[in-house]
Amino acid sequence: MPTFEISLADLEKLIGRHLPRGSQLAELLSYAKAEIESEEGDIATINVEDSNRPDLLCVEGLARQLRGALEIEIGLKNYSVHPSEYKVIVNGKLENIRGFIACAVVKEVKLSDDLIKQLMQMQEKLDATHGRGRKKTSIGLYNLDGIKWPLKYTLTKPHENAFVPLGFSDAMAPHEILKNHPKGQEYGNILKNLEEYPIFIDSANKVLSLPPIVNSNDLGQINENSENILVEVTGTDYNAINNILRLFVMSLADRGGKIFSVKIDYPYRKTDTTPNFDTKRMTLHPQKVNDCLGLKLDAVDMMKILKKMRFGAGQNLDAVSNNVLADVPAYRIDVMHAVDIYEDIAIGYGFHKFVSEPIALPTTGSLSPAEKVSRKFREICIGLGAQEIMSFDLTNKDNLFKLMGTKEEKVVELENPMAFTFSCLRNKLLPSVMEFLSKNTKKEFPQKVFEVGDVVYPDSKKDEMSVTEQRLCFAISHSDVTFTEGGQCLDAIFSNLGIKIAVKEAEHESFIAGRCAAIYAGKERIGIIGEIHPQILKNLGLEMPVVAFEIRL
Amino acid sequence: MATSVERLAETLQDAEIVVLKTLAKSPHESKELAKKTLLDESQVSRAGMWLQNKALIEVRETPQSFAVIEKLGETYAKDDLPERKFIEALKKEDLLLDKIAEKAKLDKREMQFAFGTLKKKNTIAFEHGKVGLVDDKILQHTTYVEDFLKKLSKEKEIELAKLKPDEKSAFEELKARGLVSKSDRKIREFSITELGKQVASAIKSESRIGLLTPSAIKTGSWKGASFRRYDVEAGVPKIYPGKKQAYKAFIDEVKETLVGMGFEEMEGPLVEMGFFNNDALYMPQDHAARGIHDLYFTKEPKYGNLENYKRFVDEVKKTHESGGKSGSTGWQTKFDEKESSRLVLRSQGTAISARMLMNPALKNPGAYFSVARVFRPDKVDATHLTEFNQMEGIVLGDKLNFRHLLGLFEEFAKKIVGSDKIKFMPAYFPFTEPSVQTMIFHPKLNKWIEVMPGGMFRPELTEALGIKVPVLAWGIGFDRLFMIKESIADIRQLFSQDIEWLREAKI
């Protein structure tokens, strides 16, 4: 979950009220699905438990929600957008590259050092989370004064349109930026395979930015003296870029900024005017809300709660129905279905006020067939004096084959392992059990251990191209251990289960020739038993003989 | 009641008695003690240790050096030294060198050595190519070197400090020839303590029964005899019973609790298709948790077969793109069926619930659970594993609501964690709405911790799978639950490879 830092004093200023601390503050923050992860003086690290509520990832957003919770300001928050002549012309070739742009101008913003830090933090968080590392959306902020309108969102050859990138003093061509600028190195792969890169320039051909990599050091730099700001978002998802723009603009407006629209001229879709704060109306049936939440709220209660949660709420007075109409603010991109509003009603009602309702399940419980089998085997193994162990399903080919002296077999390998140690799924248990023994050579003997666990092996006839299978591996190690002792344990297991098995001499590289047998239940081969070959023991650093068997359950 | 000295006397085993009585006469070194007591050295050493533990004797160790015989020395001791064989060959006549070698059966090295030594000591003379004895008397006496070698061969070792001066020089000479050597070791000197003396005199002489044998029972030979008293308070050597792995035992218990509540156990494969792991759960295809940092992908083959689930895939696709039958707007992003068949390692137990909802055997009302191994790319350390366990479950039924879910969590808290101090917090999960996080107050940590997340499956999820009733769902990080319960700080302990830890773990 995303975390970010805020100043509690700043939050109080935005809310317009002194806030309690400790558990009362925690309860209040829960209305915004937020919690304080750590606190140092006035600075609190906030964690928002909802990756689908980017509007809450900034102090202004928290204040917006909490003003409602505290009933200082309820209902929809209105943001008025002043019309303007600002215009961005989009190059038609961008359609399938990075086809969407949304812009807004915010004037009369009073930027402090702290506020700039806040904005940068918000930009970073949104780029990283909802922007999917700037791939889906990326944000740019510019100093409006100095920009010559209209602007062009167009394409550039990698070696043309050199400009001074943010934080540098010399002009660099886009391909140099990708190679040498830290942001170019971080995000360059988004543009990697393109012949031409998106570029944002003004009508004097001054570069604003190279989206989604870096702004220019000239127009693309804001400081405490910047009062008028251009906000731009580019990306590959129309809804996403519009929402990100909206969030940014709302934060600036909450700080006293005045919003002006920008016209976006697309050759491949109809002309757009951004930002927009259009609300969406949804109809709620009070009975359905109550059925879902297990509450007995009437329409009036619901409307009150909705307003507290910053929705617009009302009823169609002419209609006979008791339905509640909820106006969903534009920034609530998480609202896809009425149930999303049900949850807001639950939060607004107060989670702490919910009284739980016991369920008496009318169903009959049961363990799965595999679990029942597993339990029988495990019980006998324990009766035989063996210690149960549990190991990882992930392992590597060295453990599975090289150390066990066997030929490599096909296994399910990972495309993106974190480390070689865990790079494929095991297709047998014996290597895990042998590894366990190898970690305990200095511990007391005799050692008798077993594991019931899953193995996975490829099978192209199955939907998942593999089979997950439950197995048992049993191993005994001490100075006098013999094949007979292993055989006795194997026999004890199956005779107690009333299953007839037969063993037939077999060859296997992990076992001593002539001391290894395949195990059959009827005609089906279900496992193998034997004395581990001394070379395998040596591979694993074991100095005690081991007898082991592995069977399919 | 016997006095403590008498009791001690009665607990002594036969070997201890012999050793103690022998030491009551005079202190002894371990070899002598073995000889005197007719026990072998290991028996003496064991009895000595027991007696020492009871403070009946003292054992002092001092380093000592011994003369010991080497293999070649042993041969010569039996078979005469080369110089003796040399002069024996000259008993009757003077001989040429090669004749001597032949007669005395000496090899070239032995010849050279014998000739050199004898010449130096002026025992032989060499004239006109022949060798002869200077004085025949030499044949009648053995030398001190030969005497010492024979003695050492018989006694195996002689303490260096006890050697007479001529033995000392014989030792040096033989050592230089590699026939004997010096060996250092610790000598253990046993002597009786005051308490030992008292106990020794308290030992009763009649025969006592040690091990009660079947024949003693049958013949009744125990009648009238006394039983040796055992030191029943002394510790016994440890043995280990077979038992469940500690964490598995907890999983077993929880499964029984859930079955008792009416839950059926469900299962699923470890290698899953993206469809079950994510898409069917209404997780958008570009969701951050579907990237290489959160999901393990298979290398080869990369795609599974969704043919058998076509009906569901179509509905899920529609729902993702535009809401389908659910009345939702959907994600409004393009749905890629190929991506849906991408093979991954199961990253959340909810994949199993998704399968259950598509299973024709699904019951309504129904209650299902699973303890699922799941995989996520993470570096393994004290707080992270790359595979772990989740306790996953669903309840479906006509009249179920959010408060029932809270009731279920309350019951879990009581029955599984043993806690009734819980609270509910708003939360977010892509597949539930409303969602809830259940916090439990941890008395040892003195804080609230998140343990049971859950919610009601979104209509986008249920409608696409043809489920018409509310579904309560949860997925609990099970490992953490166990760690909290057992105060385990390092998560790797759950998969402990230390047999000692497993053996010592309490049931």
In CATH, B79-136 is 1.10.10.10: yes
Burial of A49 (0-12, 13-18, 19+ CB in 10 A): buried
Q: Do A53 and B271 touch (CB under 8 A)?
A: no
- Pick A418's closest partner by Cβ from B262, B379, B456: B379
Q: Do B262 and A362 touch (CB under 8 A)?
A: yes
> Cβ A352–B459 below 8 Å, yes or no?
no
CB-based contact A49 B428, cutoff 8 Å: yes
pLDDT band at A1 (very low <50, low <70, confident <90, very high): low
Contact A208/A202 with Cβ under 8 angstroms?
yes
For chain B, the structural domain boundaries read: 1-70+142-235, 79-136, 247-269+347-504
Q: How far is CA B160 from CA B167, B168, B175, B187, in A?
A: 9, 8, 13, 13
Segments in chain B below pLDDT 50:
none
What pLDDT digit, counting tens, does each position of A448-499 carry?
Answer: 999 999 999 999 999 999 999 999 999 999 999 999 999 999 999 999 999 9
At B392-404, the pLDDT tens digits run 999 999 999 999 9
Q: DSSP assignment of A498-522, as one string?
A: T---EEEE---TTEEEEEEEEEEET
Both tokens of A225, joined, read 């003296």
Asked if B259 is an interface residue toward chain A (Cβ–Cβ < 8 A), one would say yes
What does the pLDDT read at residue B292? 74
What is d(CA A40, CA A173) in angstroms, rounded to the nearest whole number?
Answer: 43
| E-strand stretches of B281-365 | 343-345
Q: What is the 3-state secondary structure (H, E, C) of B375-400?
A: ECCCCCCCCCCCEEEEEEEEEECCCC
Q: State both tokens at A372.
A: 């029942």
Residues of chain A positioned with their CB less than 8 A from the CB of B330: 336
Measure in Å the smallest separation between the Cα of B40 and chain A Cα atoms.
25
Q: State the residue for tokens 């390092």.
A: B490
Per-residue pLDDT of A104-148, as tens digits, reads 999 998 888 888 888 888 888 888 888 888 999 999 999 999 899
SS3 content of chain B, % helix, strand, coil (to 5): 45, 20, 35
Helices first, then strands: H and E counts in chain B: 21, 18
Tell me the percentage of chain B whose pLDDT exceeds 90.
43
The distance in angstroms from the start CA to the end CA of chain B is 40
3-state secondary structure of B6: helix
Q: Which two tokens stand for residue A21?
A: 């601390």
Instruction: Quickly list DSSP for B15-72.
Output: HHHHHHHHHHH--EEHHHHHHHHT--HHHHHHHHHHHHHTTSEEEEEEEEEEEEE-HH
Mutation for testing the A interface, residue in B499, B502, B503 having most A CBs under 10 Å: B499
**CATH, range A81-274:** 3.50.40.10
pLDDT, chain A, mean: 93
Q: Which residue of A has its CA nearest to B294?
A: A416
A210, A165 contact by CB (below 8 A): yes
Token output for A214? 């870096």
- Token duo for residue A532: 């581990």
Q: Is B504 on the interface with A (CB under 8 A)?
A: no
Q: Provide the CATH number for the domain formed by A3-69 in this structure.
A: 3.30.56.10
**Letter for the amino acid at A161?**
N
Match 């004064």 to its residue by tokens: A145
Alpha carbon separation from B470 to A56, A355, B288, B317, B405 (Å, rounded): 29, 19, 27, 21, 11
Of residues B392 and A52, more confidently modeled: B392
Q: Is A27 exposed, middle or buried (0-12, 13-18, 19+ CB in 10 A)?
A: middle
Asked: is B1-70+142-235 a CATH 3.40.50 domain? The reply is no
Q: Does domain A280-348 have CATH number 3.30.56.10?
A: yes
pLDDT at position A36 over 60: yes
Give the pLDDT confidence score for residue B206 in this predicted structure: 66
Give the nearest chain A residue to B368 (CA atoms): A365
Per-residue pLDDT averaged across A403-412, rounded?
96
Non-local CB neighbours of B445 within 8 Å, separated by 6+ positions:
none
CB contact under 8 A, B395 and A359: yes
Q: Which residues of B touch A295 (CB under 8 A)?
A: 403
pLDDT of A302 > 90? The answer is yes
ipTM over 0.95: no
Mean pLDDT on A424-430: 97
Q: Is A460 on the interface with B (CB under 8 A)?
A: yes
pTM beyond 0.95: the answer is no
Which pairs with CB-CB distance under 8 Å and at least 24 residues apart come from B155-158? B156/B68, B156/B69, B157/B66, B157/B67, B157/B68, B157/B183, B158/B66, B158/B67
Amino acid identity, residue B325?
K
Calculate how close chain B gets to A162, using CA atoms only, in Å. 33
Q: What stretch(es) of chain A map to CATH 3.30.56.10?
A: 3-69, 280-348
Q: Is the minimum CB–CB distance between B401 and chain A shorter than 8 Å?
A: yes
Tell me, rounded to whole angstroms, the distance of Cα A211 from its chain centroid. 25
The pLDDT assigned to A412 comes to: 97
Cα(A46)–Cα(A29) distance, rounded to whole angstroms? 10
Q: Which pair of tokens denotes residue B473?
A: 């769902």
Give Cβ neighbours of residue A503 (< 8 Å, ≥ 6 apart). A487, A490, A517, A518, A519, A520, A529
Architecture of the domain defined by A369-552: 2-Layer Sandwich (3.30)
A292 CB within 8 Å of a chain B CB: yes
pLDDT score recorded for residue B2: 59
3-state secondary structure of A418: coil
Test A132 with B331 for CB contact under 8 angstroms. Answer: no
Q: Does B468 touch chain A (CB under 8 A)?
A: no
Angstrom distance (rounded) from CA A272 to CA A282: 25
**C-alpha to C-alpha distance for A170 and B374, rounded to whole angstroms:** 51
- Bridge partner list, A387: A449, B243
Percent of chain A at pLDDT > 70 equals 100
A-B contacts (CB, under 8 Å): 276
The token pair that represents A263 in the structure block? 């016209």
**Looking at residue A11, what is its pLDDT?**
93
Nearest CB among B269, B327, B375 relative to A464 is that of: B269
Q: Compute the distance between CA of residue B165 and CA of residue B147 in angstroms, rounded to an integer.
A: 13
State the average pLDDT over residues A310-316: 92
Select the residue of B260, B427, B500 nearest A443 (Cβ to Cβ): B500
Q: Is the previous residue joined to B269 through a cis bond, with omega within 30 degrees of 0? A: no
Q: How far is B29 from chain A (nearest CA, A)?
A: 33
User: Looking at CA atoms only, how far is residue B256 from chain A in angstroms?
Assistant: 8
Q: Where are the CATH 3.50.40.10 domain residues in chain A?
A: 81-274
Q: Do B79-136 and B1-70+142-235 have the same topology in CATH?
A: yes
Q: Do A479 and A491 form a contact (C-beta atoms < 8 A)?
A: no
Look at residues B313, B303, B53, B312 and name the one whose alpha carbon lies nearest to residue B195.
Answer: B53
B-facing residues of A in 339-368 (CB < 8 A) are: 339-340, 342-343, 346-347, 351-352, 354-359, 361-368
Task: Name the 3-class secondary structure at B264.
Answer: strand
Place of tokens 């061969």: B153
Interface probe with A: pick from B386, B414, B500, most Cβ of A within 10 Å: B386
CATH 3.30.930.10 fits B247-269+347-504, yes or no: yes
Tokens at B205, concatenated: 């002489």
CB-based contacts of A232: which residues, under 8 Å, 6+ apart?
Answer: A101, A102, A103, A139, A140, A141, A142, A200, A208, A209, A211, A245
